[in-house]
Amino acid sequence: MPSTEVNKPQVLSENTVLLTGASGYVGGRLLPLLEAQPLALKCLARNPAKLRPLAKNSTEILPGDVLNPASLDAALEGVHTAYYLVHLMSGSANFEQQDRQAAQNFADAARRTGVQRIIYLGGLGDDNDPKLSPHLRSRHEVGEILQASGVETIEFRAGMVIGAGSLSFQLMKSLTDRLPVMICPRWLATPTQPIAIDDVLAYLCAAKDLPRGEGRIFEIGSPDIVTYGDLIREYARQRSLNRWLIFVPILTPYLSGLWLALVTPATYEVGRHLIEGLKNPTVVQDTQALKVFSISPMSVQQAIARAISS
């Protein structure tokens, strides 16, 4: 009988998960998948009242802000696995500094409270590229901060996420829907390896159940290496749209950001940062994810078809 009482807190801890970023695109899609599993789920939210209608009654929603260290310990107490799906690019022009501080706050709190695993979704891109965009550089830096926390960190690096509601996909969709003729910058010829949202979610869920080990980085993507121009053409083909792409060498990221602000729902600042990232190749170089996980990502053609039908 005494041993049963001692084991109770450990069982609770191993089944307690914290989700951050549940109001975002990926976090919002991950939320119901985690709620369907036999675990105790917590969500950290700056505005709990806004998130409450989107979650089940069994999900505990706690007030907190990754930029406010004092608000994190109570949310992380007793948590075994914490999902870090926070990205402050859309909320601040100085997003790099804020992402850095938020990640450090979260890493420190996770270490203090005894969290056993952090799962983080970052971005593809070559660490050795001296011209890596601020957006991708920040994504990698956040991963480094979490890895350095001493808490086992599973970092996924992905390129464009293809899915209805994904900001990058919506940018491409809006441009293709609205412009029969596109004056295209050089970055539309950049190689990339996008991934369907359903495959991203499958990896995030599977990471929770990995055997304990050291921190790891997994690069994930579809089987297809394409260009952003290819993505536009494939989307147009599936929508039966006739589109002309005219490539020019002078459309800078600055001008491209202004262009996006005119023809898409995205703000200029977010559009500019995304475009700066599109100039960098985002291709999977390490295929370990295919060996570790029993997940076979769908093709780009399948991913676009699913996004259109959603």
User: How many Cβ atoms sit within 10 Å of the Cβ of residue 250?
Assistant: 8
Least confident of 63-67, 165-169, 258-262, 292-296: 258-262
For 104, phi then psi, to 5°, come to: -65, -45
Cα–Cα dist 69/58, whole Å? 26
User: How many Cβ atoms sit within 10 Å of the Cβ of residue 286?
Assistant: 11
pLDDT of residue 279: 80
Least confident of 13-22, 136-145, 232-241, 273-282: 273-282
b/e sequence 33-71, b meaning 16+ C-beta within 10 Å: ebeeeebbbbbbbeeeeebeeebeeebebbebbbbebeb
Which of helix, strand or coil describes residue 2? helix
pLDDT of residue 271: 63
**Nearest of 139, 125, 140 to residue 192 by alpha carbon:** 125
pLDDT of residue 22: 95
Tokens at 120, concatenated: 């983080």
What the chain holds in terms of domains, given with CATH numbers, is: 2-160+195-221+281-296 (3.40.50.720)
pLDDT of residue 278: 74
Note the pLDDT tens digit of each residue in 200-233: 999 999 999 999 988 999 999 999 999 999 999 9
Residue 88 banded pLDDT, cuts 50, 70, 90: confident
Residue 79 banded pLDDT, cuts 50, 70, 90: very high
Please give the model's pTM, rounded to 2 decimal places: 0.90
For 21, phi then psi, to 5°, come to: 75, 25
Mean pLDDT across 62-84: 95
Handedness of CA 108, 111, 113, 119 (dihedral sign): positive
- Integer CA distances (angstroms), 270 to 89, 101, 159, 254, in order: 7, 20, 16, 12
Amino acid (one-letter) located at 254? Y
Mean pLDDT across 59-88: 94
Note the pLDDT tens digit of each residue in 15-58: 899 999 999 999 999 999 999 999 999 999 999 999 999 999 99
Compute the C-alpha angle 27/113/58, nearest 5°: 45
Residue 262 banded pLDDT, cuts 50, 70, 90: low
Cα–Cα dist 207/55, whole Å? 22
Note the pLDDT tens digit of each residue in 264-310: 665 656 666 666 767 889 999 999 999 999 999 999 999 999 999 98
pLDDT of residue 8: 34
